[in-house]
């Protein structure tokens, strides 16, 4: 980890639009942001480990962060956080240890909130609890979605869903550029990298062309049928 700086005003603006602060008024938002500093991590750096005592929660400003559990050699990713998402915010209300490990992918810049300070804030500005609840609710939904998808869909279907929800479509045709390595996408989807690769080749029949990180979709509706 490199330095703990005050949030720049651009970063403050970005945080204001993030889910964790978007339902707050000006004063509440300023109070919440006063508990935070900006921190920067290098690729592969660990932010914290599972079971470690939790002093901070985070909101991602840029880059990607991987949340995962791993007893031994075996690891399972729980979520790949994208800019604007927060994690660990539930610890403000209950619990005192992290429930998963967090690792930066690429260079990552985050707002780091002091849990004890925010806990103190709750007394005078109780609506902050509502903002946290909002964020938690969103997380819960996406985690449930992920769980249901893992249990119902095969790997090509999961990949197709990812493509369809992340592409920019121009009529019947669409395309996208993966924001990170394929191996990370694989883990996000709960697959081995090889399985992702095979899923992509299986989707060639449905008009998906992959070249590096660039992906082209011939016919959105065709892909939806998968």
Partner DNA sequence: CGACGTGTTGACATCCGTCAAATCTGGTGG
Partner DNA sequence: CCACCAGATTTGACGGATGTCAACACGTCG
CB atoms within 10 A of CB 106: 16
Per-residue three-class SS string for the chain = CEEEECCCHHHHHHHHHCHHHHCCCHHHHHHHHCCEEEEEECCCCEEECCCCECCEEEEEEEEEEEEEEECCCCEEEEEEECCCCEECHHHHCCCCECCCEEEEEEEEEEEEEEHHHHHHHHHHCCHHHHHHHHHHHHHHHHHHHHHHHHHHCCHHHHHHHHHHHHCEEECCEEEEECCCCHHHHHHHCCCCHHHHHHHHHHHHHHCEEEECCEEEECCHHHHHCC
Residues 142-171 that bind DNA (CB under 7 A): 154-156
Residue 42 contact, options a copy of itself, DNA, none, Cβ 5-8 Å cut-off depending on partner type: none
140 in contact with a copy of itself (CB under 8 A): yes
179 in contact with DNA (CB under 7 A): no
Residue 21 contact, options DNA, a copy of itself, none, Cβ 5-8 Å cut-off depending on partner type: none
Residue 193 contact, options a copy of itself, DNA, none, Cβ 5-8 Å cut-off depending on partner type: DNA
136 in contact with a copy of itself (CB under 8 A): yes
Smallest distance from a copy of itself to CB 102, Å = 13
90 in contact with a copy of itself (CB under 8 A): yes
Choose, by CB under 7 A, the member of 179, 182, 218, 222 that binds DNA: 182
* Phi/psi at 206 (5° precision): -100, 20
Choose, by CB under 8 A, the member of 74, 96, 170, 194 that binds a copy of itself: 74
194 in contact with DNA (CB under 7 A): yes
Structure tokens at 99: 């429930």
Structure tokens at 213: 């990180």
Choose, by CB under 7 A, the member of 136, 210, 216, 220 that binds DNA: 210
CB atoms within 10 A of CB 31: 16
Rounded to whole angstroms, how far apart are CA atoms 88 and 34? 18
- Convert residues 68-107 into a mask of x (bound to DNA by CB under 7 A) and - (unbound): ------x---------------------------------
63 in contact with DNA (CB under 7 A): no
Binding site for DNA (CB under 7 A): 74, 154-156, 181-183, 190-201, 210-212
Report the interface residues with a copy of itself, using CB under 8 A.
68-69, 71, 74-79, 90-91, 93-95, 99-100, 122, 126-127, 129-130, 132-134, 136-141, 143-148, 150-152, 190
């Amino acid at each position: 980890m490199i330095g703990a700086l005050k949030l720049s005003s651009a970063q403050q603006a970005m945080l204001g639009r993030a889910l964790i602060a978007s339902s707050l008024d000006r004063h509440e938002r300023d109070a919440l942001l006063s508990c935070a500093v900006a921190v920067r991590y290098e690729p592969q750096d660990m932010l914290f480990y599972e079971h470690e005592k939790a002093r901070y929660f985070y909101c991602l400003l840029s880059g990607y962060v991987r949340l995962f559990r791993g007893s031994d050699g075996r690891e399972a990713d729980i979520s790949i956080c994208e800019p604007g998402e927060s994690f660990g915010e539930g610890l403000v209300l209950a619990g005192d240890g992290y429930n998963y490990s967090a690792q930066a992918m690429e260079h990552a810049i985050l707002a780091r909130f002091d849990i004890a300070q925010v806990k103190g804030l709750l007394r005078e500005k109780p609506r902050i609890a509502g903002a946290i609840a909002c964020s938690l609710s969103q997380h819960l939904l996406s985690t449930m979605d992920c769980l249901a998808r893992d249990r119902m869909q095969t790997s090509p279907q999961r990949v197709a869903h990812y493509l369809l929800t992340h592409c920019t479509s121009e009529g019947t045709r669409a395309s996208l550029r993966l924001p990170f390595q394929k191996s990370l996408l694989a883990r996000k989807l709960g697959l081995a990298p090889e399985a992702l690769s095979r899923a992509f080749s299986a989707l060639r029949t449905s008009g998906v062309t992959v070249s590096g990180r660039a992906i082209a979709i011939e016919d959105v509706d065709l892909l939806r049928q998968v």
